[in-house]
A and B are shown apart, each in its own frame.
Chain A
Amino acid sequence: MNAPSVGLLPLFLASILTSNILLANFLGTCSFISISKDFKSSMGLGIAVTMVIGLCSAICWAVLNYLIKPLGIEYLSFIIFIIVIAGVVQMLEMIIDRFSPSLYMALGIFLPLITVNCAVLGVILFMQIRSYNFLQAVVFGFGSGAGWWLAIMLLASIRTKLDKNTAIPAGLKGTGITLVTIGFMAMAFIGFSGMIAVQ
């Protein structure tokens, strides 16, 4: 199958905005909800997720096209992608520990948890079924990561404001109002989906 003829800039914008991995596809929501309490951690996690998705889509594109397809083992692609993601996260962890201990400590347990963040695998599987070429895969990967980052920063800002609001009923405080907020955000993002179609 040939690569779709979508331009790189529309693809990048679409992956950030109209097909936002979090708010249009609802992938990677667990850490989205739990970390967005704190603005600083959201920033750290957003950077980490962007790096991991970007790197992994580039590496997995190569693995897909030079190993999985020639050998005809598409049925194993899930397992191989997961192994690659785990390996990349491990390397990233070591590199961050070396060069930015404070970011390393701030991310704490969440960096290894990115391994099982479904947004990462989701982006890679989209890349596979849409048959992107290498540049498209990289742009789509970084774009989706940036979209995730944007979404968590938006939610963190909203939650910082919400925390100060005393009008929220007790039963809705915390996760409840957060889910409602995410719903509104998702509607706003999906509202633009007709503008740029990504396939």
Chain B
Amino acid sequence: MSPILVGPLAVAGVSTVLAFIIAILDKFLNNYGQLDITINGKKTLNVKGGSPLLSTLAAEGIFVPSACGGRGSCGACKCKVLTDVGPHLPTEMPYMTPKEIEDKIRLACQVKVRKNLEIELPEELFSIKKFKAKVESLKDLTYDIKELYLALEDKQEIEFQAGQYVQLVVPPYGDIVESTQRAYSMSSRPSDKKHVELLIRLVPGGIATTWVHKHLKQGDTVEVVGPFGEFRIHNTQATMICVAGGSGMAPFKSMLNHMHETGAFPEKEIWYFFGARTQKDMFYLEELRQLASSWPRFHFVPALSEQPTSEEGWTGEVGLITDVLDRYLQGKVDKAKGFEGYLCGSPGMINACINVMKKNAMTEDKIYFDKFA
């Protein structure tokens, strides 16, 4: 044989043999067979092993909340695993308190199903469902925020409390080969059980937001999973101090419409601070101002962080939302009934607002928020 051929053939031969052995090992090692997962000692699922617990449960129609979609970056998918599956992994440790480690709390996305498991989940998770929905409308609210209005199919209805969120399932598209999920707060009213409305801001390079902004069209079918979340109106007499920026508007739109429509929590005074950079980033301004003028216990304070030019005719507040909040808490807001903080926005904004609220004698256990990592 020609010496020019011998070399490449030998290299190719060695590579082929190795690839073959790896393929066989993969088939043999990654095969854990059919396994049983027992939930709360009652329900037993027969599943195929080898995948993370989170996705294994999702395939069986049980949706453990997860804001990041299984990347191990949000720490939301906590569940109790009674079976010994080894020590907590370094990827789980940042999200665990010493008490949780002792209680065998794990992140469902990091625990691989390798043997029969016994786990505990909160009962309300079983009411979480996957809904098929059609895009009824997709409106531009600003240059980078869209209002996505979904009509649920097959006569399905969603029962939720104002402030909760759903996971939007993003199918593979373009260069994205794997389906993923992202959490968005619902902006629709709880009484509108046949629809789900989401406000989605375009994040440059974001998988889900790019899909919604650039690929999704009216009439398309999508899937949402939910409802999830502990962010909801608390039944006290304390004054609600709501602060939002950008698409953080969503849960408050739902809460305000719900309270206005049903007259729920009649004792509560509501202050809503909404921050944007310029007037270009502002939306729902007219609707909210109208609502404020016709509904005495609701006060709306929009604020721009950049000084507007005089011809824009801006009549609201100017300044960072935290400064505006600070000013109002020290002056205009009635302190008699005490405060509750409700926050929705970027982690930076939330942390800054918590600091301002603490400075104004609000305690951290009365400040509520969802942080989507």
A residues at B contact (CB < 8 Å):
63, 67-68, 71-73, 75-76, 79-80, 83-84, 86-87, 90-91, 94-95, 97-98, 101-102, 105-106, 108
Structural contact, A76 and B25, CB atoms closer than 8 A: no
Would you mind naming 10 contact pairs between A and B with Cβ atoms under 8 Å apart?
A: A72-B3, A72-B6, A76-B10, A76-B11, A80-B10, A80-B14, A84-B14, A84-B18, A90-B22, A102-B86
- Taking CB atoms, residues of chain A closer than 8 Å to B29 are 94-95, 97-98
Structural contact, B89 and A101, CB atoms closer than 8 A: yes
Known interface pairs A72-B3, A97-B29; 9 further A-B residue pairs with C-beta atoms within 8 A, sorted by A's residue number: A63-B14, A71-B6, A80-B11, A87-B18, A94-B22, A94-B25, A95-B29, A98-B29, A105-B90
- Taking CB atoms, residues of chain A closer than 8 Å to B26 are 94
Q: Tell me whether B313 is interfacial, beta carbon within 8 Å.
A: no
Structural contact, A101 and B112, CB atoms closer than 8 A: yes
Structural contact, A83 and B11, CB atoms closer than 8 A: yes
Structural contact, B18 and A71, CB atoms closer than 8 A: no
Q: Name the contact of A83 in the complex, choosing from B3, B15, B25 (C-beta under 8 A).
A: B15
Structural contact, A91 and B25, CB atoms closer than 8 A: yes
Given A105-B89, A106-B90 in contact, is the A73-B10 Cβ separation under 8 Å? yes
- Taking CB atoms, residues of chain B closer than 8 Å to A106 are 90
Q: Tell me whether B21 is interfacial, beta carbon within 8 Å.
A: yes
- Which residue on B lies nearest to A68, using beta carbons? B10
- Taking CB atoms, residues of chain A closer than 8 Å to B11 are 76, 79-80, 83
Q: Tell me whether B87 is interfacial, beta carbon within 8 Å.
A: yes
Q: Tell me whether B33 is interfacial, beta carbon within 8 Å.
A: no
For residues 1 through 50 of chain B, which have their beta carbon under 8 Å from a beta carbon of chain A?
A: 3, 6-7, 10-11, 14-15, 18-19, 21-22, 25-26, 29-30
Structural contact, B10 and A102, CB atoms closer than 8 A: no
- Taking CB atoms, residues of chain B closer than 8 Å to A67 are 10, 14
A63 to chain B, nearest CB (A): 7
- Which residue on A lies nearest to B6, using beta carbons? A71
- Taking CB atoms, residues of chain B closer than 8 Å to A75 are 7
B residues at A contact (CB < 8 Å):
3, 6-7, 10-11, 14-15, 18-19, 21-22, 25-26, 29-30, 86-87, 89-91, 112, 114
- Which residue on A lies nearest to B88, using beta carbons? A102
- Which residue on A lies nearest to B29, using beta carbons? A98
A10 to chain B, nearest CB (A): 33
B115 to chain A, nearest CB (A): 12
Structural contact, B87 and A87, CB atoms closer than 8 A: no
Q: Which of B7, B26, B112 has the most CB of A within 10 A?
A: B7
Q: Name the contact of A71 in the complex, choosing from B10, B15, B86, B90 (C-beta under 8 A).
A: B10
A3 to chain B, nearest CB (A): 24
In whole angstroms, what is the CA distance A86 to B11 when docked?
13
- Taking CB atoms, residues of chain A closer than 8 Å to B15 are 83, 87
In whole angstroms, what is the CA distance A10 to B69 when docked?
55
In whole angstroms, what is the CA distance A94 to B86 when docked?
18
In whole angstroms, what is the CA distance A170 to B26 when docked?
49
- Taking CB atoms, residues of chain A closer than 8 Å to B3 are 72
In whole angstroms, what is the CA distance A108 to B91 when docked?
10
Q: Name the contact of B91 in the complex, choosing from A71, A72, A83, A105 (C-beta under 8 A).
A: A105
Structural contact, A102 and B87, CB atoms closer than 8 A: yes
A5 to chain B, nearest CB (A): 31
Counting from the closest, the 10 A-B pairs by CB-CB distance are A87-B18, A105-B89, A98-B29, A73-B7, A76-B7, A94-B29, A71-B6, A102-B86, A102-B87, A80-B14
In whole angstroms, what is the CA distance A80 to B9 when docked?
11
- Taking CB atoms, residues of chain A closer than 8 Å to B114 are 101
Structural contact, B90 and A83, CB atoms closer than 8 A: no
- Taking CB atoms, residues of chain A closer than 8 Å to B89 are 101-102, 105
Structural contact, B21 and A101, CB atoms closer than 8 A: no
In whole angstroms, what is the CA distance A76 to B15 when docked?
13
A186 to chain B, nearest CB (A): 32
Given A94-B26, A101-B89 in contact, is the A83-B112 Cβ separation under 8 Å? no
In whole angstroms, what is the CA distance A28 to B22 when docked?
26
- Taking CB atoms, residues of chain B closer than 8 Å to A87 are 15, 18-19, 21-22
- Which residue on A lies nearest to B9, using beta carbons? A71
In whole angstroms, what is the CA distance A67 to B18 when docked?
14
In whole angstroms, what is the CA distance A83 to B91 when docked?
31
A55 to chain B, nearest CB (A): 13
- Taking CB atoms, residues of chain B closer than 8 Å to A86 are 18
A48 to chain B, nearest CB (A): 16
In whole angstroms, what is the CA distance A142 to B69 when docked?
43
A104 to chain B, nearest CB (A): 9
Q: Which of A63, A71, A72 has the most CB of B within 10 A?
A: A71
Structural contact, A101 and B14, CB atoms closer than 8 A: no
A123 to chain B, nearest CB (A): 19
In whole angstroms, what is the CA distance A105 to B90 when docked?
7
- Taking CB atoms, residues of chain A closer than 8 Å to B91 are 105
B90 to chain A, nearest CB (A): 6
Structural contact, A91 and B14, CB atoms closer than 8 A: no
Structural contact, B86 and A91, CB atoms closer than 8 A: no
- Taking CB atoms, residues of chain B closer than 8 Å to A108 are 90
A96 to chain B, nearest CB (A): 10
